[in-house]
């Protein structure tokens, strides 16, 4: 199941249709996985976050300036504390976006809190434009601040302290250049391991299952079906289905 929303508190520049697939629980292990469609021109200024992100480009292309591009079939790991962008696109794009607390323990802010914070900042008289929140001090001084940073500080009531950058820049990955490696313990299963990141051991992998075979899902993981159909547990799935396993759970 998923829900869609044309975000009323949208803080980036473009027409964004976001489908909420999976969400975690409040705390350091919180996360959000969305299927995101952006039509027409999109712009987001160079910025950073206090959480990790993984993006998988399903259709269209995103340009991250000096950091590289993501075209269909490419993935990107955007570490906490690392600046990236500016980010632009032009046309119809689809990407899978996973945002989650990184190894520093800074966590990931629940999206309900983000929506509330954005609404409060708008009500205070400021405005969001092209990924920037603009407001005026009592003396008339104009202040421009990264949109997400402004929302985080509104919600938490203190300045945002970014984690030290573990990587110099985002990691851009062309998945087509990775070999499929057969799984020695599961017949008919092959893996494309795209990376394991930070001391948090975040694992990013593509998995192929041949018809008539099965896969034991790793515990404490999230999954997205790019193509094909089958059965997970007792439920049938098809393309664009999302799945989640909890700790000590594999099916």
Does residue 9 have a pLDDT over 70?
Answer: no
Does residue 153 have a pLDDT over 70?
Answer: yes
Share of the chain residues as helix, strand and coil, in percent rounded to the nearest 5: 10, 45, 45
Quote the CA–CA distance of 166 and 44 in Å, as a whole number.
Answer: 23
Q: Supply the pLDDT for residue 175.
A: 97
- Note the pLDDT tens digit of each residue in 163-214: 999 999 999 999 999 999 999 999 999 999 999 999 999 999 999 999 999 9
Q: Supply the pLDDT for residue 11.
A: 58
Confidence of residue 247 (pLDDT cuts 50, 70, 90): confident
Residue pointed to by tokens 């030290």:
164
Q: Supply the pLDDT for residue 26.
A: 81
Residue pointed to by tokens 């906490």:
80
Q: Which residues are CB-contacts of 229 (< 8 A; sequence separation ≥ 6)?
A: 236, 237, 238, 239
- Note the pLDDT tens digit of each residue in 83-128: 999 999 999 999 999 999 999 999 999 989 999 999 999 999 999 9
């Amino acid at each position: 199941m998923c829900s869609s929303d044309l975000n009323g508190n949208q803080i980036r520049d473009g027409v964004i249709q976001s489908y909420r697939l999976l969400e975690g629980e409040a705390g350091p292990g919180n996360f959000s996985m969305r299927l995101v469609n952006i039509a027409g021109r999109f712009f987001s200024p160079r910025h950073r976050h206090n959480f990790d992100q993984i993006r998988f480009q399903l259709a269209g292309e995103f340009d991250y300036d000096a950091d590289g591009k993501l075209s269909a079939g490419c993935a990107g790991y955007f570490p906490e504390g690392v600046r990236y962008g500016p980010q632009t696109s032009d046309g119809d794009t689809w990407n899978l976006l996973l945002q989650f607390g990184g190894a520093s323990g800074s966590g990931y802010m629940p999206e309900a809190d983000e929506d509330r914070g954005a609404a409060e900042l708008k009500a205070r008289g400021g405005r969001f434009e092209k990924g920037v929140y603009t407001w005026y001090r009592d003396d008339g001084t104009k202040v421009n601040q990264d949109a997400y940073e402004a929302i985080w500080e509104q919600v938490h009531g203190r300045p945002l302290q970014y984690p030290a950058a573990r990587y110099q820049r985002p990691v851009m990955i062309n998945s087509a250049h990775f070999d499929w490696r057969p799984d020695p313990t599961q017949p008919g299963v092959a893996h494309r391991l795209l990376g394991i990141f930070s001391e948090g051991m975040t694992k990013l992998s593509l998995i192929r299952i041949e018809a008539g075979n099965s896969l034991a899902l790793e515990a404490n993981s999230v999954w997205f079906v790019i193509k094909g159909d089958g059965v997970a547990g007792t439920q049938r799935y098809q393309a664009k289905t999302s799945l989640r396993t909890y700790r000590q759970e594999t099916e």
